[in-house]
Amino acid sequence: MIGKALDNNKVIDALLDALKDKNDYVRRAACPALATIGKAPDNNKVIDALLERLKDNDVYVRGSACHAFVMIGKAGDNNKGIDALLAALTDENRDVRSRACNALAMIGKAGDNNTAIVGLLKALKDENHDVRRSAGNAIERCLCNTVTLEGLNHELIAELNSYIRASNNGLDFNDVTPAIFLRSYLGSNKAAWLPLVTYVALRQNIAVTVVENRLVVYGVKGPIPLENVDIESLDKLKIAFHNQEEELNS
């Protein structure tokens, strides 16, 4: 309720002071409170203060700061947040590393997506099962966001392709649809997306039809039309589907 106060600046200032309190519990509680009321466009001082708590001596404060970034999501200078959260992926405490994965999935949507996903792919090799699972869940959330995907480079797209095709990753294909990868392919004109489009579509038994320059993806949630697709992109897509079908049948 306090987040709805008319003059949040005074509250924010008080919470910023609380982040420096000698008591670990006070600092820990201040992190989510700041995330709740510090979502105004000009909240760099909140972001900077939370970044400092990612280096706190107390493990629970560090974990609370990571969770605060999950709550904030797209706000402030996210690239600074990504750098700090990438460092948190190497924290000695597994809970902090897990929370950092969750935060990267949220904050990376408005920052350097390549860097965020590189960190998450590395976290898939963490010694702790819970951290690996958090990294996998975070990557799946990234895969459901076209804005996040369009900026990825060819090397990362290839790594994601390998990850999705791995038989033991536990990926929920119901959430990751070929329409998302299709939009990423058409929006970026990167052919590296084609293997993902075709593989996920065939794995989910989803039909994709082409009529002139119009694509329709028939998924579990109904048909998804994609209009005014250029002929060259369509030709590449047809070839990719043919090649993928041969690969799966071989």
Check whether residue 3 and residue 127 sit in a common domain.
yes
What is the distance between the alpha carbons of residues 167 and 223, in angstroms, rounded to a whole number?
A: 28
Q: Tokens 């709805």, residue? A: 4
Q: pLDDT tens for residues 144-165?
A: 777 677 778 899 899 888 888 8
The CATH number of the domain holding residue 11 is 1.25.10.10
8 Å CB contact between 213 and 229 = yes
Whether 76 has a pLDDT exceeding 70, the answer reads no
**Six-digit token string for 146:** 């076209």
> Are the CB atoms for 109 and 140 separated by under 8 Å?
no
Asked if 88 and 18 sit in the same domain, the reply is yes
- Both 153 and 129 in one domain: the answer is no
Quote the number of domains for the chain. 2
Q: CA-to-CA distance for 56 and 65, rounded, in angstroms?
A: 9
Last residue of a domain, one of 128, 143, 158: 143
First to last CA, the chain: 60
Q: Quick one: pLDDT band at residue 88, thresholds 50, 70, 90?
A: very high
For residues 63 and 112, membership in a common domain is answered with: yes
Nearest to 115 by CA among 155, 86, 142: 86
pLDDT at residue 23 tops 90? yes
Mark which of 88, 113, 143 sits at the end of a domain: 143
Q: Identify whether residues 124 and 223 lie together within a single domain.
A: no
Domain that holds residue 135: 1-143
**Residue at a domain's end among 114, 143, 172:** 143
Question: Does the predicted model carry a pTM greater than 0.85?
Answer: no
